[in-house]
A and B are shown apart, each in its own frame.
Chain A
Amino acid sequence: MLLLDAPPDTSAYMIAGYIVFFVVAAIYLLSLLVRWRNLHEDMTTLESIEKESKVIPQKTVRTAKRKGANKKTAKKK
């Protein structure tokens, strides 16, 4: 008779277990996506700053040369 007994109803725990698994896994995947996106944004910003910082010194060199040339012509005059 004992052998014919139905197993206990523990399905609620099984469902809870699988919900917990998928929720934790989704949270981790989301955290990876958010971190990846933030790093990409940081990279783009830093690269544009780096480009600007390379362009600005060249401009200052050019303007300094121009200023020097102007001074020379003024002296000649």
Chain B
Amino acid sequence: MRSKPLTLKILDIASLLALAVATYLALIYAPEEATMGQVQRVFYFHIGTAWTGLLGFVFAAGLGVVYLIKQDLKWDIAEVAAVEISAVFFFITILLGSIWARPIWNTWWTWDPRLTTAAITELIYAAYFMLREGIEDPDRRARFGAVYTLVGGLSAPITFFSIRLFRTIHPVVIGSGDPGATGAFAMTSGMLLAFFFALFTFTLIFVDLFWNRVRMGQLAAKVEQLKINLMH
């Protein structure tokens, strides 16, 4: 395996620096929200991770389509990388949401349409890895994985639009949501800066992790091929 490309090294450092700045903006620069207090600061990373998580699931579905057309395992490696990183990001989203909900909704969890669809999405992708583990043939595994991500990818827009389509207590920060939502707030310019910078940071981190994870997938494929060669 070739050593890490310089661009990727720069991207690694840029991601870490961006994360440091995003943390500063979220924790110190952005003003305290008047009704929720400090816990509102969780929102910046909650949305950032949700954004990359859901976008990553849709991206993985796209990579699945490309695999089905091209039948080349390199697209499968990329698809797995996208799903894995998105699943980690989305898991963080759910945890942060739950921590925010405790003081605001007075509960860690409620079966609200947004929370339910989010939990289902995460479980769909946990099952994706179980499915892959159960198939030994690489081509068959890739084909099943591609079809699965294609169907599973539908859960991302459903989760995104759930708070805009159904009656919910989950707030909609951008655009108009349910009037019965609890925890909605108007963003000041300082908050908007922290918000958009968090979106940018998590997109950058996603790209960086994706590149690193694809390289790891390529190495794993080489190891697997060497094992097969030695057995024959």
Contacts and interface: CB of A to CB of B under 8 A. Distances in A.
B42 A14 contact: yes
The contact size tier of chain A is: 20 to 34
A16 B226 CA distance: 45
Contacts of B91: 24
Interface stretch (A34-42, A57-65, A66-74): A34-42
Contact of A13 (B35, B42, B212, B223): B42
Interface residues of B, number: 38
Contact of B99 (A13, A25, A35, A49): A13
Contacts of A30: none
Q: Classify the secondary structure of A's interface with B.
A: helix
A2 to B, nearest CB: 11
B45 A40 contact: no
B96 A32 contact: no
B219 A50 contact: no
Interface in B6-31: 23, 27
B36 interface: yes
Interface of A: 7-11, 13-14, 16-18, 20-21, 24-25, 28, 32, 35-36, 39-40, 42-43, 46-47, 49-50, 53
